[in-house]
Each structure stands twice: as structure tokens, then as C-alpha cells.
Amino acid sequence: MSQTHREIELLEALRRLGGSARNTDLAKALDVSEETVRRTIKSLSKTAMVARVRGGAYLVGTQNDPSFFRRITQRPTEKRLIANVVSTLVSDGMTLFLDVGSTTAFVAEELRRHQNLTIATNSIGVAQTLVNVNGNRVHILGGEMQANERGAFGHVTHRQAQRLVYDMAILSADAVSPRRGFLYHSNAEAELAQIVAECADQILIAFDHGKLSESAPFVGPAPRQISHIVTDKAPSKALAQSLDAWGIKAVIADGSY
């Protein structure tokens, strides 16, 4: 299917911006209004070349559709509810760490309402979302980029993460086990979560109910280090008992919070 000149320009802009971008960034890159960007994205989404997410879009395809982009389209309503609750637990002026999780991306959107935050992140998307907003200061950590996560990992990332003390670390998880705690598919992500946890006064893990039926091979921070979880469904009896034993407060984002 042939594209219009505007659609071609937007596709090129998305490629230059790493495969995904906010509407505001695309509008600046193309020197057009956000409404024009939204209309163009809507048109392209019908061709299955571009997928829409809240406030932006990403390229779809075998080379431009890493796991992060697939995950961010799963259970978006639940993730928005979770993100809204997480935002209420954050105060202006805090120093935060946010990881590369898809739920964390929704949290970053909600945090745009806050002021004077200091944010460290290894996520390109989180940094793009929060930079130059309400006096917030964003530190994007260096290291080796992993395209499938749109973030940096490795020794350099660890060293830079350890240079800050966090009032709260907001982390994701790929699976939750009543026996093992919070698990990850990526060893690099699990290692970074462990390191950040040592530097944080509070650790909050945000995840949707789909993670309760998943399994993963790598263990993250010790459960007793975690202060809160925020999810969209009440945990099972077994998990509730484990959370109580670990001293973790569960906050359920069911729309009534």
C-alpha cells in the first residue's frame, strides 16, 4: 500500500527516534501540530506498519518490534490503573529510579504531573517522557544498549546507578512467585534491579495480573527488601501469605483507589 508524503515523513522520523516516539517529539521533528501527527498515526495504524500507544506510536515489524513494544500493548487499561496508583505514592521532589518495564512506561506518563523530581533510568522511553517537564531532572544511565528492551545494561549502568540514593525505586517484574519472589527473563535486568534495590529507601514493584501466571529463570531483589507492590488484582491466598511474611504492602489498582 502506498503512503502519503506525510506518512513517509512520520515513518522516517520514527526510525530516527529509535522506533518509537511521543506525539510531541514527532510534532517537533516534523514541524507540524500534534493533531496532524495523531491523524497520520491513525492512518498508518490501519496499515499495521505503526501501532498506537498512549501519547505516541511505535514501528511494527520483525526488526522494529522488540519485546518491549509487544508488552506495552498488552493489558494497557490495567497498566494505566496501576500507573495512576503508583503516581499517588510519589511526592514532588523525590529522587526515583525507573526501569525499562512496560508498566514503568505508563508510570512515567503519570509522573509528568509531578514537579522537581530527580529521575535516574536506563530506559530511553522513560527519559524521553520526563525530561524538561515541571522542573524534573533526568539522568539516563550509560552502558550497552539492548534494542529489545530499549535500555542500557551492564557494568557501566551498574556503576552509574550506584552514584545516587533513591527515595523510591519503581521496578517491574516478569513473573511473581509465592516461593521465589520477583523474577525476570533477563539476567541483566535482574542484576540491575538487585543493585538499585541496595541504593533505595523504598522499593515498589508494579506489575499487571498476567505476571502472576508467568515463570522466569532469574531472581530479582530479595523479597524482604520490597516495601510495596501495586497490581490490578488481589493476590492468591498463597501469594498473600508470602507478601505478609515478607512485610510487603499490596496495593490493588482496581479503579476505586
**pLDDT tens string 96-127:** 999 998 899 889 989 999 999 999 999 988 99
Output the nine-digit C-alpha cell for 22: 511521543
CATH of residue 52's domain is 1.10.10.10
**Looking at the structure, do residues 110 and 142 belong to the same domain, yes or no?**
yes
Q: What is the tally of structural domains in the chain?
A: 2
Residue 86, in any domain of the structure: yes
What's the confidence (pLDDT) of residue 4?
85
**Looking at the structure, do residues 227 and 126 belong to the same domain, yes or no?**
yes
Question: For 145-186, where are the alpha helices, taking DSSP H only?
Answer: 155-161
What's the confidence (pLDDT) of residue 147?
66
Given a contact cutoff of 8 angstroms between Cβ atoms, the answer to whether 100 and 151 are in contact is yes
What's the confidence (pLDDT) of residue 63?
44
Residue 135, in any domain of the structure: yes
What's the confidence (pLDDT) of residue 61?
58
User: b/e per residue, 187-219, with b = 16+ CB within 10 A?
Assistant: ebbbbbbbbbbebbebbbbbbbbbbbeeebebb
What's the confidence (pLDDT) of residue 255?
64
Amino acid at 177: S
**Looking at the structure, do residues 161 and 36 belong to the same domain, yes or no?**
no
* Residues β-bridged to residue 119: 96, 138
Residue 187, in any domain of the structure: yes
Paired sense of beta strands 144-146 and 151-153, if any: antiparallel
CA distance 248 to 144: 33
| Complete DSSP assignment for 105-122 | HHHHHHHTTS-S-EEEES
What's the confidence (pLDDT) of residue 83?
94
What's the confidence (pLDDT) of residue 227?
97
Given a contact cutoff of 8 angstroms between Cβ atoms, the answer to whether 172 and 106 are in contact is no
> Could you tell me the CA-to-CA distances from 171 to 24, 41, 190, 199, 220 in Å, in that order?
26, 30, 10, 13, 10
What's the confidence (pLDDT) of residue 54?
76
**Looking at the structure, do residues 93 and 27 belong to the same domain, yes or no?**
no
List, run by run, the mean pLDDT of 10-residue segments along the chain (257 residues).
79 78 87 93 85 81 51 76 96 97 90 96 90 94 81 94 97 95 94 97 95 91 97 95 97 76
* Residues β-bridged to residue 50: 59
Which residue is listed with cell 495480573? 209
Residue 257, in any domain of the structure: no
> Could you tell me the CA-to-CA distances from 53 to 8, 58, 88, 133, 160 in Å, in that order?
19, 8, 22, 20, 30
**Looking at the structure, do residues 23 and 91 belong to the same domain, yes or no?**
no
What's the confidence (pLDDT) of residue 256?
54
What's the confidence (pLDDT) of residue 66?
43
Which tens digit of pLDDT belongs to each residue from 142-164? 998 876 677 899 999 999 999 99
